[in-house]
Amino acid sequence: MTAAPEPRVARFAELSGDELRSRLRDALTLYVTAMNYPKGTAEQRAPMWLAHMLRIGWRCVAAFDTDDRMAGIAYGYQGAPGQWWHEQVKRGVTERHGLDVAERWMDDYFELTELHVRPDTQGQGIGGELVRRLVAGTPNAHVLLSTPEGPSRAWNLYRKLSFTDVLRDYQFAGDPRPFGVLGRALPLTDPN
Ligand SMILES: CC(C)(COP(=O)(O)OP(=O)(O)OC[C@H]1O[C@@H](n2cnc3c(N)ncnc32)[C@H](O)[C@@H]1OP(=O)(O)O)[C@@H](O)C(=O)NCCC(=O)NCCS
């Protein structure tokens, strides 16, 4: 396997809730640009990002370029019963693979909720480094995430980081797109 690209970014930093709140506009602009969503999505998402900051185990890591502009962002928190995503995924895994499998993945996990890199700085290893730094500080046994079915750069990255299939072609309530739910055990050791 080839070595991971060396990130060409000025610095990575863990952000506190207050720090992300003060940079929320930049972060949401980055998110909307990376996902190619309509501009209004940023305003819609703001309350959700603010609410997520209050969850147990919430952590956020960002990358900044030499002009101190945000080049990438990742955050997540401890998954728990009662959270919308947890309930959706648990139902899907239980239906398809049984309760034992669902509990094995979901009893103690960190949900990697958002991961985005500015399009002009993608493909330089920033995404991989954000994931590594984010999960390095979590005490959980597993990390789980969902991503629209690929192929995509996100899928390439998750496979390189040894994420395996938990659920494929899964439809979350209210979203017609098929998603993959991927997971792996922690700690995340370097795949190379
Ligand atoms: C997905 C995303 C966050 C990845 O960020 P990135 O900085 O481009 O990621 P990296 O540079 O670390 O990795 C991406 C590429 O490096 C490759 N790579 C990463 N680690 C590697 C390794 N150890 N060895 C070889 N290649 C590696 C990946 O396979 C991928 O290859 P590709 O560019 O040929 O497709 C970014 O592309 C993005 O923001 N996409 C749009 C938003 C999105 O889809 N977010 C995820 C939603 S769940």
Express each pLDDT in 115-171 by its tens digit. 999 999 999 999 999 999 999 989 999 999 999 998 999 999 999 999 999 999 999
Q: In terms of Cα–Cα distance, which of 80, 77, 61, 78 is closest to 7?
A: 61
**42, 29 in Cβ contact below 8 A?**
yes
Distance of CA 84 to the CA centre of its chain: 16
pLDDT of residue 39: 84
Is 65 a member of any domain? yes
Is 137 a member of any domain? yes
For ligand 1, say whether the CB of 1 is within 6 Å of any of its atoms: yes
Hey, whose CA ends up nearest to atom 22 of ligand 1?
4
Residue 141 and residue 122: Cα distance in Å, rounded?
Answer: 29
In a mutational test of the pocket of ligand 1, which residue from 153, 162, 163, 192 has the highest number of ligand atoms less than 8 Å from its CB?
153
Q: For residue 86, give the 3-state DSSP assignment.
A: helix
Mean pLDDT computed over 174-191: 91
Q: Is 158 a catalytic residue?
A: yes
Hey, whose CA ends up nearest to atom 5 of ligand 1?
127
Give the DSSP letter string of 123-183: TSSHHHHHHHHHHHT---SEEEEEEESSSSHHHHHHHHTT-EEEEEEE--TT--S-EEEEE
Is 3 a member of any domain? no
Position 7 confidence tier, pLDDT thresholds 50, 70, 90: confident
CATH number reported for the structural domain that contains residue 114 in this entry: 3.40.630.30
Q: For residue 65, give the 3-state DSSP assignment.
A: coil
Maximal CA-CA distance, the chain: 50
pLDDT(190) > 70: no
N- to C-terminal Cα separation, the chain? 7
Tokens of 1: 């396997």
Is 1 a member of any domain? no
The single residue of 31, 77, 109, 158 carrying the catalytic annotation is 158
What spacing in Å lies between the alpha carbon of 16 and ligand 1's midpoint? 25
Range of the domain at 57: 11-185
Is 190 a member of any domain? no
Is 5 a member of any domain? no
Residue 15 and residue 7: Cα distance in Å, rounded?
Answer: 19
Split into its structural domains, the chain has a count of: 1
Q: In terms of Cα–Cα distance, which of 75, 101, 74, 78 is closest to 90?
A: 101
What spacing in Å lies between the alpha carbon of 145 and ligand 1's midpoint? 15
Share of the chain above pLDDT 90, in %: 91
